[in-house]
Chains A and B, each alone.
Chain A
């Protein structure tokens, strides 16, 4: 993870430094770099535009699913979904809506729960 950006940028700086030292006309070098950079980022730009709302929609849908699990015993879920639903309920409870988490943990909890101290 750390080595990828550091290595690629480091090698690019080394290459540009070497070309700067060995080419008479540097403006062509700089212009070429700008053109290469624009071309290289073009596919990412296209995908950024065509999927402009995908991230927000996906996250919103997933969080909406957790809304449906609030305040009642949790069904059988995989570990990560159960964790996400519990984190979501805890955040909502700490944000001011009481008695959401403990009812999700099963019948051993009093319902309604006694007021917190």
Chain B
């Protein structure tokens, strides 16, 4: 067989050019989504308020006054629960809150100079703040692509973002609750449709902190797919500054993916970093109490720690016959398949399998729980992930 002649490689500057093109694709789709979706609704104004409260303080008596006022209103209990949920969530988006407040202080002298009203001031502060936040997220993605130093990563991210940008212009359905979609099969169909047409707000090109988190989560996976495992974990922990709850979910997902596919990753240094990140996140998390999720979270942590302890014992020579049987019959074949699929294929296959396995729980939960209770939001979030 005649070997192929050596293939010409592209000049190093071409990689930077492709990454710049990727950034332009992102910014184009971001501009389109911003123009189609940016609005002064409750969530957006609340995001501005979190920034003001962070630096100015003094909001507690006002919150107390509103909490006394709401129960007497129509839908009062629901309104009160929503208010409490939002107030307990106020520290969730530390970096976006800081950026929005910083933007407002930068804009203030200009708008004051034009004797503008407060509405214009808040609109411009929010717009500049969310754009700054998106620029930070995009810089993280750009750094991750360049760290990978791989043509496939650069061109793959360019192509992937362009495909998502093309999907983003497809006409979308009005967002629904999973309960309103019909039976379980219709709900699954709706979720699969949502995979292709997400709508502007949950999109990677959206203006909310969640969208910017998705950009950075993509950077985490790019690092992992190029063997920067520790970098992926450290970045995930740092993402708690951007979106605390989603960072916790992502950290959990990464730990489960690696426990299943590549447990040899968990040396002392990695375990220490993951544990430290988990402790910091749990320490800062305020939503579990509001949603009444602490018992479930504690149970989950105990299960994961028990699995980790068993695996550590196994690695250091302690023989547990039942674990060996489980390892040989279930996890062994999964790891062999994961090795064959490579880092990308294994992560995607296991993540989709986990989503499908946990989906019935979320589908049952949204039907059993009173839709007025805030816990429904948690179940919806897990479903949507």
Contacts and interface: CB of A to CB of B under 8 A. Distances in A.
Interface of A: 1-17, 20, 24-27, 30, 33-34, 36-38, 40-41, 43-45, 47-48, 51-56, 58-64, 66-67, 76, 79-84, 86-88, 90-95, 97, 101-102, 105-106, 109, 116
Contact of B384 (A1, A9, A44, A90): A1
B45 A14 contact: no
A76 B204 CA distance: 36
B59 A16 contact: no
Contact of A12 (B10, B44, B156): B156
B41 A62 contact: yes
B158 interface: yes
User: Which applies to chain B's interface (DSSP): helix, strand, loop or mixed?
Assistant: helix
A87 B7 contact: no
A37 to B, nearest CB: 4
Contacts of A30: 10, 18, 151, 155
B92 to A, nearest CB: 15
Given A51-B36, A63-B122, A79 B82 contact: yes
B164 A6 contact: no
Contacts, number: 260
Interface string B62-81: 11011011000111001100
Interface size class of B (residues with CB under 8 A): 35 or more
B41 A80 contact: yes
Of A6, A27, A58, most buried by chain B (CB within 10 Å of CB) is A6
A91 B48 contact: yes
Given A10-B348, A47-B32, A56-B123, A4 B164 contact: yes
Interface in B340-358: 342, 344-345, 347-348, 351-352, 355
B40 A60 contact: yes
6 interchain residue pairs of minimum CB distance:
A13-B156, A55-B38, A9-B160, A62-B40, A63-B119, A37-B162
B83 interface: yes
A62 B120 CA distance: 10
Interface in B159-191: 159-166, 168-169
Contact of A8 (B48, B66, B160, B225): B160
Interface stretch (B214-222, B273-281, B303-311): B214-222
A64 B166 contact: no
A95 B151 CA distance: 49
A14 to B, nearest CB: 6
B126 interface: yes
A80 B34 CA distance: 21
Interface in B136-163: 151-153, 155-163
B58 A92 contact: no
Given A3-B355, A56-B123, A56-B127, A9 B161 contact: yes
Interface stretch (B49-57, B227-235, B330-338): B49-57
27 contacts: A1-B202, A2-B253, A4-B195, A9-B218, A10-B347, A12-B157, A13-B344, A14-B342, A15-B156, A26-B8, A26-B151, A33-B158, A33-B159, A37-B25, A37-B161, A44-B29, A44-B168, A51-B36, A54-B36, A56-B38, A63-B119, A67-B119, A83-B79, A90-B49, A91-B49, A94-B53, A101-B66
B117 interface: yes
B28 A44 contact: yes
Contacts of B32: 44-45, 47-48, 51
B183 to A, nearest CB: 23
A58 B246 CA distance: 28
B367 interface: no
Nearest to B34: A55
B45 A6 contact: no
